[in-house]
Structure 1
Amino acid sequence: MPRHSGDGARVRLGSPDKVLFPETGFTKRDLADYYRRVSPVFLEQLRDRPISRVRYPDGIEGQRIFQRNISRGMPGWIRRFEVSASPGAMGTPQDRARTVTYPVVDDADGLAWMAGQATVEFHTPQWRLGPRGGVRRPDRLVIDLDPGEGTGLEECARVALMIRDRLEHDGLHPRPVTSGGKGLHLYARLTAQAPIPTTARAVHGYARRLAEGLAAEHPGTVIAHASKQDRVGRVFIDWSQNHPAKTTVTPYSLRAKGGSPSAAAPRDWDEIGPGLAQLGPADVLDRLD
């Protein structure tokens, strides 16, 4: 086995010319190169967070494999922690009794190994692991804006600006991230000095009240509880991803949401408006450069 080096240089990439996105010819080598180049910022997003991942060993037209548990053959130097399937005190006793052994990626070697497994997407919760593997309080709040039929990213941008005003009024300072799919995510950092309690239950409840309040004020634009058919013409504010058992695609992760790769890309607020579009891996790398 190649030795753990911390820079990805000694992790052997099998089948580097394997095409993952046939429409554009994006290969496993391209995947590994993107994660290598984005690693200085991406690893900070992954740090101490258990990872759920989406793999496409035969490309995006083949089988989609969603994995939480560590996989057979995963190198021993990739950190792993056994965590309740429903962390914290919000799940059922049965859920809390079940455990999942998650990988935690600390360095470019870990990213390189994941890329070798055709891991396109990385999903993480809103909390980090403590030094002994305990579940810490959430360190960020997330709001997922999902456009219903007849709406798109431009409508999500308008709702995002409304949510920004509410969060800033409450002393939180959100950052927008285009999801790489159809919608938009808003993240707000939570610290010990946050203006709201930072227990998982309190953050989950705060996000729910915010979504329900906006839906009541703007029923023709926003919805907070609905099946997909009820979202037509409206933006769904998904507050549920603040539950400690839920995960959100990690900022800077690639996505397999179309014929060509896209990325969950942090944006500036002056971009959130008409003409807003999702970004691809080349766009993200250009912005980082």
Structure 2
Amino acid sequence: MSASPDRQVVEVEGHRLSLSHLDRLLFPASGHTKAQVLHYYARIAPAMLPHVTGRAASFVRAPEGPAGQSWVAKNPPPGAPGWVPLVPVEHREGTTEQVMIDSTAALIALVNLGAYEVHVPQWTAAAGPGRHDRLVIDLDPGPGMDLVACCRVAQRLRQLLADDGLTAFAVVSGAKGLHLYAPVEPAPGRAVSGYAKELGSRLRAEHPGLVVVSMVRSERKGKVFIDWSQNASAKTTAAPYTVRLLPGRPGVAAPVTWDEIAACEDAEDLAFTPEEVVERFAAHGDLLDGLAGDAHRAALP
């Protein structure tokens, strides 16, 4: 039922949610409103949930959209329903409780509170931060480089991972770069980070003029930065299928095929609207289906 054109009460999986400010324009360049972003998440939830369920979520909150104030939030947003599950997470400053998105209802409830961008670590709450079950490498183009260069680097990294018995899955970050994931047998974050850094160093040795693994920003001009550090237990990565809060239009962390990466000749080739991501899911299913299960899981070399 509807209380006003800008507010609606809906039932999702047995939970009543009061959705507010539905007409709020979040992305002026594309015209996307809050209602359209909520609709996207409701439709993509079946694909997204396997990659976030069980993991302590943090958010980029921007109630008024990218043009307004935004901040990273690890604590549950004020107004979060009591039925949304919380998990304890140890940080340097102590133990806090964070949201765990385990259902479409929980996802919609959090997005309704302005938590538009979802980030998760590479470990599950049940296993703890000492046992990572995913490896992630963030390919970030430095000044003068673009997503096309990231795709070329990703193809070689895929080969190196395969040589080590690991299966790579690709996700355009929804911002500038590309995320590579590989399911691994649970291992300490330090071990996964060390392997990812060593992998990047191998590629740097092959192509010193193309890639960099150093955290020093001044060294990234004209190169692709292989960010191995997101495997640290305290770090998180933009979750697959999350909306990204880009100025003017929504980006999406969208899974892509290796054929698409090989064919990419322009960054716009792999830039998708929320609606296009839903269409891709309807046509092809979850392109990351092998990431969440155990079929491709392998031990770090």
Structure 2 length-normalised TM: 0.85
Deviations 1:81-130 (CA, angstroms, capped at 9, x unpaired): 12111xxxxxxxxx2x5222110111111111112112221000000011
What amino acid is aligned across from residue 7 of structure 1 in structure 2?
E
Q: Distance in 1 between matches of 2:75 and 2:114?
A: 16
Alignment partner, residue 33 of structure 1: 39
Give 1:24's aligned residue.
30
Residues 8, 263 of structure 1: CA spacing in aligned structure 2 closer, same or farther, 3 A cutoff? farther
Which secondary structure state, in structure 2, belongs to the residue aligned with residue 109 of structure 1? helix
SS in 2 for 1:225: coil
* 1:125-165 CA distance string (max 9 Å, x none): 000011xx844611110000000111101100010011001
> In the TM superposition, what whole-angstrom CA distance separates every residue of 1:200-250 from its partner, at most 9, and x where no partner exists?
221111011111221122110000004323211100000000001000000
Q: CA shift at 1:3, angstroms?
A: 11
The question of whether the paired residues in 2 share the 8 Å contact of 1:83 and 1:100 is answered with yes
Please, which moves more after superposition, 157-166 or 257-266? 257-266
- The equivalent residue for 2:273 is 280
Identity %: 42
Q: Which residue of 1 aligns with 2:122?
A: 126
Task: From the two aligned structures, give the one with the greater strand fraction.
Answer: 2
| 1:144 aligned residue | 138
Q: Partner of 2:36: helix, strand, or coil?
A: helix
**Residue 271 of structure 1: aligned partner:** 260
Residues 202 and 80 of structure 1: CA distance in aligned 2, closer, same or farther (over 3 Å) = same
Inter-partner Cα distance in structure 2 for 1:183 and 1:230? 17
Q: In 2, distance between residues paired with 1:65 and 1:240?
A: 21
Normalising by the residue count of structure 1, what TM-score does the alignment of the two structures yield? Answer: 0.89
- Structure 1 stretches lacking a partner, 5+ long: 86-94, 193-197
Tell me which moved more, 203-212 or 5-14: 5-14
Q: Residue 44 of structure 1 aligns with which residue? A: 50
CA contact (8 A) 2:19 2:112 kept: yes
Unaligned ranges ≥5, structure 2: 1-7, 283-301
- The aligned length equals 271
Letter in 1 for 2:104: A
Report the equivalent of 2:208. Answer: 219
Structure 2 counterpart of 1:250, from 239, 242, 261: 239
Q: Is the 8 A contact 1:20 1:58 kept in 2?
A: yes
Distance (whole Å) between structure 2 residues aligned to residue 14 and residue 6 of structure 1: 15
Deviation at 1:72, TM superposition (A): 2.4
The question of whether the paired residues in 2 share the 8 Å contact of 1:46 and 1:106 is answered with yes
Does 1:67 find its partner at 2:73? yes
- Residue 257 of structure 1 deviates from its aligned partner by 2.0
Q: Aligned-residue CA RMSD in angstroms?
A: 2.0
Match of 2:199 among 193, 202, 210: 210
